[in-house]
Amino acid sequence: MFMRFDILTIFPDLIYQYGNDSILGRGQRNDLIDIKAHNFRDFSASKHHTVDDKPFGGGPGMVLQVEPIYRCLENLGLVKNGKKIKKFKTKIIIMDPDGKKFDQKMAKQFSKLDNLVIICGRYEGFDERVYKFVDERISVGEYVLAGGELPALTITEATARLIPGVLGNFKSLEEETFVEGTIEYPQYTRPENFMGLKVPSVLLSGDHKKIKQWRQKNINK
């Protein structure tokens, strides 16, 4: 299985700096995923590559223009003649504080796609017409960030690690936090005693049945 992530942003280096390391970097080197950042400034009609302007009707701040984002999507073959092109196993999402809350279930759904396209916002938000060319608005939480790049990377990593081979150890994936709707049990490693803080004796017993019972009992604690 192979999955491509296309992230539309005015700060592509933020995407590449994170995406080329650790799990995501390894996934790309193993040809399991591909992460591409697209600077929609490159598609601005302005000689200064401007992508924002003052809102009609007045108000504070600047609004991201529809045209550069549309032209970027057009370059990716996702829109044409003012309409979104439907592509099998491709989804276009936009980072939006009013969007549907992202969770593990959604990450699992996204991991079945061939292509996930994520549009990152900045400033006071998007020209409303941008939403005509997306499939879904997504939020990662009820708080304010400077832009959509961190949420986009959150979604990319949460989704990519569910693709077979990306994480490496599939057993780790099965027992992870939020799989089956639970939080992981407490875990310990060496030393057995740190400044009087001791590892529970059952974990040192070698009795796998009792260890399993202890872990199940201590989930969510």
Given a cut of 60, whether residue 127 has pLDDT beyond it is yes
Side-chain-facing half-sphere of 3: CA atoms under 13 Å: 25
161/194 same-domain check: no
117/195 same-domain check: no
- Give residue-wise pLDDT tens across range 71-107: 999 999 999 999 999 999 999 999 999 999 999 999 9
84/41 same-domain check: yes
164/98 same-domain check: yes
DSSP3 helix / strand / coil % (the chain, rounded to 5): 35, 25, 45
- Give residue-wise pLDDT tens across range 128-165: 999 999 999 999 999 989 999 999 999 999 999 999 99
Burial of residue 189, with CB atoms counted within 10 A of its CB: 0-12 exposed, 13-18 middle, 19 or more buried: exposed
Could you tell me if residue 28 is inside a domain? yes
Q: What is the pLDDT of residue 176?
A: 57
Q: What is the pLDDT of residue 9?
A: 98
- Give residue-wise pLDDT tens across range 15-27: 999 999 999 999 9
Could you tell me if residue 136 is inside a domain? yes
162/103 same-domain check: yes
112/189 same-domain check: no
Domain with 146 in it = 3-171
117/211 same-domain check: no
71/158 same-domain check: yes
Given a cut of 80, whether residue 180 has pLDDT beyond it is no
| 136 close to 102: Cβ distance less than 8 angstroms | no
Could you tell me if residue 178 is inside a domain? no
56/154 same-domain check: yes
Over residues 50-76, the mean pLDDT reads 96
147/40 same-domain check: yes
148/202 same-domain check: no
Confidence of residue 184 (pLDDT cuts 50, 70, 90): confident
Over residues 99-119, the mean pLDDT reads 98
Neighbours of 36 (CB within 10 A): 15
Given a cut of 90, whether residue 28 has pLDDT beyond it is yes
What CATH number did the domain enclosing 131 receive?
Answer: 3.40.1280.10
Mean pLDDT taken over the chain: 93
Could you tell me if residue 179 is inside a domain? no
What is the number of domains present in the chain?
A: 2
Burial of residue 160, with CB atoms counted within 10 A of its CB: 0-12 exposed, 13-18 middle, 19 or more buried: buried
The rounded percent of the chain whose pLDDT value lies above 70 is 93
Long-range interactions of 177-185: CB distance < 8 A, separation 24+: 178/103, 178/104, 179/104, 182/219, 182/220, 183/219, 183/220, 184/219, 185/214, 185/215, 185/216, 185/218, 185/219
193/143 same-domain check: no
Confidence of residue 171 (pLDDT cuts 50, 70, 90): low
Over residues 157-185, the mean pLDDT reads 76
Length of the chain in residues, anyone? Answer: 221
Written as six digits, the tokens of 216 are 């199940």
Q: Record the pTM.
A: 0.89
| Phi/psi of residue 117, nearest 5 degrees | -110, 125
Written as six digits, the tokens of 206 are 């070698």
Who wins on pLDDT, 186 or 171? 186
